[in-house]
Amino acid sequence: MELLTIASFLVGATNRIIEHLVKPIFDKFSLDKFWLAYVSLAIGGGLVWLSTVNLFAAYLPDPIVGRVLTAIVAGGGATLLHDVFDGP
């Protein structure tokens, strides 16, 4: 459960960085917001890589694959985290 809390924090941090730092730049220069998803994945990936969090360590033997998947979860935002770990 501690790992899920850390991942939730990384999702929140990524969302705040996008909302308060990146999105205003896109608005100021009238950039296509389609690219925000990729910027979010890159920022989430950077945070995961620096923190070495791996949500999939119990399921995947390769730590790099687990960290890449965790980066996708962190960059995908809170809804993706909820979708991945929500029970049936």
Q: How far apart are CA 74 and CA 24, in angstroms?
A: 21
Q: 29-46: b or e for each residue (b if 16 or more CB lie within 10 Å)?
A: eeeeeeeeeebbbebbbe
pTM reported for the whole predicted model? 0.79
Helix intervals (H) in 18-59: 23-28, 36-51
Question: How many domains, in total, are found in the chain?
Answer: 1
Tell me which residue range forms the domain holding 34.
2-85
- 58-67 pLDDT per residue, tens: 999 999 999 9
Tens digit of each residue's pLDDT (9 = 90 or more) over 19-50 = 899 989 999 999 998 888 888 889 988 999 99
Q: Give the position of tokens 């979708």.
A: 83
